[in-house]
Amino acid sequence: MADDKPASILTKSQRNYIQGKSEPSNPREYDRRIRGRIEYGFHDLMLLFEYLEQDELRKVFGSNYARQIEPHEEVQEETHEYATAGYVPHALAFIMRGLNYDDEPLYPKVEETGEEQPAFEEFIDAVEYGVRQYLEGKKRYSANVDVSIELTDVSLNEKFFEDETTENE
């Protein structure tokens, strides 16, 4: 897939770098800059939540976002056609990955102990807080919010673990 999108959180050269398509002269400096841009990107999302006009928000998400998000396989097939809606699950997955950066692997822990992954707790807290922020800040409602994640039929995906092993080396 050609990446002809303008710079956003990442510059075009940073996109190439994290995809392994290029190697900068100073990777540590590149990594530091990427971390900064991610942090600033999250800050920008907070500003967008607080200040972006409803009409502009509607233009960004439009009717594409109103579509029901399908199961993962269908979202992958349609991501490029419905960019804004299709990227939301990836953004959430990125956040969960970030919250889970130093926790034990999900598998076999869940299967062996039946305990929730610590990142789920942090992610759930973040989602609950975000929903309350939306309700209170934009809709003028106060509500208790309860989110839970229940995993069923957890199975080992050999390809995933091969990728993780390669990634961590």
**pLDDT for residue 74:** 47
User: Alpha helices of the chain — where are they, by DSSP H?
Assistant: 12-18, 27-51, 54-66, 72-78, 83-99, 106-113, 118-138, 158-168
In a domain, 17, yes or no: no
Question: Which of 166 and 45 is assigned the larger pLDDT?
Answer: 45
Does residue 115 surpass a pLDDT of 80?
A: no
Domain holding 137, by residue range, is: 100-169
In a domain, 129, yes or no: yes
**pLDDT for residue 96:** 87
**pLDDT for residue 66:** 45
**pLDDT for residue 113:** 58
For 128-139, what is the mean pLDDT? 93
Q: Give the pLDDT confidence of 2-18 residue by residue, as tens digits.
A: 567 788 899 999 999 99
In a domain, 157, yes or no: yes
Buried b / exposed e over 42-53, threshold 16 CB at 10 Å, is eeeeeeeeeeee
The total number of structural domains in the chain stands at 1
For 156-168, what is the mean pLDDT? 58
In a domain, 112, yes or no: yes
